[in-house]
A and B are shown apart, each in its own frame.
Chain A
Amino acid sequence: MRTVIFATAIRILTPLFLLFSLYILFRGHNNPGGGFIGGLIGSIAFIFHTLARGPKDTVDTFLSLTLRIADRMPGQSRPAYLSQMLKANLVGRKKELPDQWRQHSLRLRPLFLIALGLLIAVSSGTFSFFRGEPYMTAWWPDTHLPVLASLGTPLLFDTGIYLLVLGMVLKMVFTMSRD
């Protein structure tokens, strides 16, 4: 499957797929779609990327974040230090690292996604406690946003399903494609 055309096209298509999956997730309440379908589409985006470039590349590109960290200089004030950190991490990341800088790698593991999804889904139902209603009574605050339409706890629940499905498929595929 590692053809040049596929590998090149996937670079552009994966973010589009992801965006589309989010769109499907949010439109689910009024039109065909929803968390489950959205999660599947999102995972297919990653799977195609994995097929084209291998699991390691997918993890490095989408599911990990390398932070650049340096110790605070003596005499450097806290805000100055923070702005320096932000600048180093946001601007000019392609540049070589100076000597005294370290790299700190954060990885988003699929199992974490599963757990996070379940946590979000379970806790979306607890909002109703604060308003004295039974568990999982939906709550729709009066907001109207573009694309998202209106926000409510069922949407949060759906997001939980999205993350869980995504994590589940990713876990399976990453485990299987590793030799």
Chain B
Amino acid sequence: MLFALLAGFMLSFLAPVLHRLLGKLLVVPMVLFPLALFAYFCTQLPGVLAGNVLLQGYAWAPSLGINLQFRLDGLGLLFALLVSGFGALVMLYTKGYLGESPLLGRFYLYLTLFMTAMLGVVLSDNLFCLFIFWELTSITSFLLIGFDSDKEEARTSAWQALLVTGAGGLALMGGLILLNLATGSYTFSALLNGEKFMATHPLYLPATLLLLLACFTKSAQFPFHFWLPNAMAAPTPVSAYLHSATMVKAGIYLLARLGPVLGGTEVWQMVLLMVGTATTLLGALLALQYTDLKAVLAYTTISALGLMVSLTGIDTPLALKALLVFLLAHALYKGTLFMVVGAIDHSTGTRDAQMLRGLGPHLKLLAAAATLAGLSMAGILPFFGFVGKELLYEATLHSPRLTWWAFGGAFVSGLAFVAVASLLSYGIFWHKASVSTPVKHAPSFSLYLPPLLLGLLGLLLGLSPSSLAAPLLEQAFQVIASTTTELHLALWHGFTTIFVLSLVTVSLGVLLYFLLPRLQQLPITYQRLYQNGPNKLYHLTFKGFLKGAKAFTRRVQGGYLRNYMVTIVLFFCCLLVFVLWRDAPAIDLSQRVHLLQEVRLYELVLWVLVMAALLYLLNTRSRLTSIVVMGLVGYSAALFYILFGAPDVAATQLLIETLTVVIFVLLLHKLPAFTYLSHQYRKYKFVFVSVLFGSLMTYVLLLVQEHAVTSELQQFYGKASYLQAHGRNIVNVILVDFRGFDTLGEITVLAVAALGIFALLRLNPEKGGKR
């Protein structure tokens, strides 16, 4: 599994290069890769269906418990198949949708990167491994939403999605660490096999709330739902893939995964039910008021996600069964509908429901796909959506808590789904209209094939639910329910209450569809509510934060280097004085005076040299002289290092001094002439600060000598350096081997600093910004 993910990362970064090499044929490798992954996961099917769990692990930082550990069980495989299979179709669809774009390579880069990260999320066994992939999906989602970076809307929405899901990512990190502290396990496998995390544990509540927060932001639950409709600024393949079928389900996935560990308590059930159903109602109501088809779909997606969250909250085996079936059904029909809307947008140039009429005869195959998906969404009999809806009603009716609240949510959203489904399939394509919307060009093969396939799959799964979907869903079910109850799926349950409810939903929903134009013509009723809702709050916070940061920067960053230096040094001195005062260790200087006798002549010479240079430096007015004298001081320091046996440090110091002098000389002629601007008393202030700092440092060094720390590190490095690391130069071995990771961090900072310096030097405000 690691190699599958690594291959994904490599391929994604190769995409722009491949675009240059292959041109339009780029789509071939990009589609073949998810297909290969899909095939790979299919080969794992028999093992998983037999109830085996495939575990793979690679050590990363074992001492911290951070490892690349993967786990393939029923739930993971279900999602992996969904991600890779859907991925192949979306990659193909992208060719039709963005085929002419010069940035196609970059788009495939982001998309493949996202797919790989999403696979990582659903396959991770290690908690921190999951966290890393989770964050990667947030980042790629940001890049994809902001793909049309020349539009302001896209940029703002991308920011919004990143900040909201990124905040959730922080909560996830906190939650996972607490979970790890409380249970002591680093992997889901250990969590599932270990004891249940008791609600009475003091860390239970904070951990659960943080994890729920993470899931809610990712899955766009109220009050964090606002980023999802805004994220529709992304190109349609992204909306279909990330924002309906896969990424927003990551929250649901994590909830389902953690259910056996955290679930079963009152907090868990109440929070999930309340939030989930509130989201469901909100999404359903808002969906009816928009005419932009993508917005309509986005709000129904929010509604569906809310349903899934409340199903997790109901927490009965029946509800979890309904969750899995509804999740699969939703991914199939919602992905299809998004692709259909994208294709309509592509070929007619609009996606406003009021402008689109009578497209059916012109776009037959697209209409077929939309009808298939619409029937599944509405929950009509032979489709997979019907199975999902039946289970949904049954589960909410048997909810142990808040039964009517949960069922009400399911029922209202059911009505809204029927109305939206009728609008998308019947209203746009088959409704008789005197003038049909002109079609500019017929959609290409790659635009209608993927939705058609998905729509047909929905029908196929519905026709024989027990043979096709049930075995895998059953394994997934056993993972999240941690029971061995069998899962039976059937299309026809007989003429029961539930079926009657379904009939009522469909008929009322169709009625609602005919009322839709009136609803849409009303000014958005909750517009005032919406304007002052979480979206507004987000923008206010965002602006306030920027303002606050600016004010803070203006105050703290005066722009005078000397003030920065004085602040840093004085703060450091305060800390030092505090520590010295608290611990009050005294130095007995009288015992050390005799040490002065051992001072050798050349040490004395160096000392005199440095002192003379410093005195001269204080009195010179020429920049060039001060640079040269500073160089002299530096070289003398290097000589001291040599005298005390640190050749590596000395060499570095010598070279750095040389470079500093050379660079100063290069810059010198760019500076204005040296003039005294500051008052005399300010000079005394600086003298005071430097004397204070110098004497404190001397005192501390003497102290260190007095109370030498006994450490075995030196001996350890001395021994291990040659035996384990094959090097005799301990300094270098520590740098590149023992503490190599630190060095890696340092050189990364160095590289970033180089970019910053470059940008600063190129900036020339007097000449009007960039040169």
Residues on A facing B (Cβ under 8 Å):
28-37, 40-41, 43-44, 47, 51, 111, 114-115, 117-118, 121-122, 125, 129, 132-136, 138, 140, 150, 152, 154, 157-158, 160-161, 164-165, 167-169, 171-173, 175-177
The 8 Å CB contact of B726, one of A111, A140, A167, is A140
Residue B265 interfacial (CB < 8 Å) = no
Contact in complex: A164, B729 (CB < 8 Å): no
Collect the chain B residues with CB atoms within 8 Å of residue A30's CB.
Answer: 727-729
Collect the chain B residues with CB atoms within 8 Å of residue A158's CB.
Answer: 732, 736
Q: A34-B736, A40-B659, A134-B62 are in contact. Are A168 and B652 (CB under 8 A)?
A: no
Closest beta carbon of chain A to B279's beta carbon, Å: 40
Contact in complex: B729, A51 (CB < 8 Å): no
One of B53-61, B207-215, B341-349, B605-613 at the interface: B53-61
> A154-B733, A168-B753, A175-B757 are known contacts; what are 19 more A-B pairs with Cβ within 8 Å?
A29-B727, A29-B736, A32-B731, A36-B735, A44-B655, A44-B659, A111-B754, A125-B740, A134-B60, A134-B61, A136-B740, A140-B726, A160-B747, A161-B743, A168-B754, A172-B663, A172-B758, A173-B666, A176-B667
Residue B17 interfacial (CB < 8 Å) = no
- Interface of chain B residues 712 through 771 with chain A (CB within 8 A): 725-729, 731-733, 735-737, 740-741, 743-744, 747-748, 750-751, 753-755, 757-758, 761-762
Closest beta carbon of chain A to B129's beta carbon, Å: 13
Q: A-B pairs with the 7 shortest C-beta distances?
A: A40-B655, A29-B727, A32-B647, A30-B728, A34-B732, A134-B59, A154-B736
Max chain B C-beta neighbours (<10 A), residue from A34, A47, A122, A167: A34
Collect the chain B residues with CB atoms within 8 Å of residue A33's CB.
Answer: 648, 651, 729, 732
Q: A33-B732, A167-B754 are in contact. Are A43 and B747 (CB under 8 A)?
A: no
Closest beta carbon of chain B to A178's beta carbon, Å: 9
Residue B587 interfacial (CB < 8 Å) = no
Q: A34-B648, A134-B59 are in contact. Are A117 and B662 (CB under 8 A)?
A: no
Residue B658 interfacial (CB < 8 Å) = yes
Contact in complex: A176, B737 (CB < 8 Å): no
Interface of A, helix, strand, loop or mixed by DSSP: helix
A167 to B747, CA, bound (A): 12
Residue B549 interfacial (CB < 8 Å) = no
Collect the chain B residues with CB atoms within 8 Å of residue A34's CB.
Answer: 648, 729, 731-732, 735-736
Select from chain A the residue with minimum beta-carbon distance to B656.
Answer: A40
Max chain B C-beta neighbours (<10 A), residue from A36, A47, A140, A152: A36
Collect the chain A residues with CB atoms within 8 Å of residue B659's CB.
Answer: 40, 43-44, 47, 169
A158 to B732, CA, bound (A): 9
Residues on B facing A (Cβ under 8 Å):
2, 58-62, 647-648, 651-652, 655-656, 658-659, 662-663, 666-667, 725-729, 731-733, 735-737, 740-741, 743-744, 747-748, 750-751, 753-755, 757-758, 761-762
Q: A172-B754, A175-B758 are in contact. Are A161 and B747 (CB under 8 A)?
A: yes
Contact in complex: A111, B59 (CB < 8 Å): no
Contact in complex: A118, B727 (CB < 8 Å): no
A122 to B741, CA, bound (A): 9
Max chain B C-beta neighbours (<10 A), residue from A122, A154, A160, A173: A154
Select from chain B the residue with minimum beta-carbon distance to A161.
Answer: B747
Closest beta carbon of chain B to A45's beta carbon, Å: 11
A134 to B58, CA, bound (A): 7
A40 to B2, CA, bound (A): 38
Interface of B, helix, strand, loop or mixed by DSSP: helix
Collect the chain A residues with CB atoms within 8 Å of residue B666's CB.
Answer: 173, 176-177
Collect the chain A residues with CB atoms within 8 Å of residue B662's CB.
Answer: 44, 47, 51, 173
A-B contact pairs, 26 of them (CB 8 A): A29-B728, A29-B729, A29-B733, A29-B736, A32-B647, A32-B729, A34-B648, A35-B736, A37-B651, A40-B659, A44-B662, A51-B662, A117-B747, A125-B740, A134-B62, A136-B744, A138-B725, A138-B726, A154-B733, A154-B736, A154-B737, A158-B736, A160-B747, A164-B750, A169-B659, A176-B663
Contact in complex: B652, A36 (CB < 8 Å): yes
The 8 Å CB contact of B751, one of A118, A125, A177, is A118
Collect the chain B residues with CB atoms within 8 Å of residue A134's CB.
Answer: 59-62
Closest beta carbon of chain B to A90's beta carbon, Å: 28
A31 to B725, CA, bound (A): 14
Select from chain A the residue with minimum beta-carbon distance to B735.
Answer: A34
Collect the chain B residues with CB atoms within 8 Å of residue A157's CB.
Answer: 736, 740, 743-744
Collect the chain A residues with CB atoms within 8 Å of residue B647's CB.
Answer: 32
The 8 Å CB contact of B762, one of A121, A138, A167, A175, is A175
Closest beta carbon of chain B to A117's beta carbon, Å: 7
The 8 Å CB contact of B60, one of A118, A135, A176, is A135
Max chain A C-beta neighbours (<10 A), residue from B62, B651, B753: B651
Q: A32-B647, A40-B652, A134-B60 are in contact. Are A150 and B726 (CB under 8 A)?
A: yes
Closest beta carbon of chain A to B5's beta carbon, Å: 12
Select from chain B the residue with minimum beta-carbon distance to A156.
Answer: B736
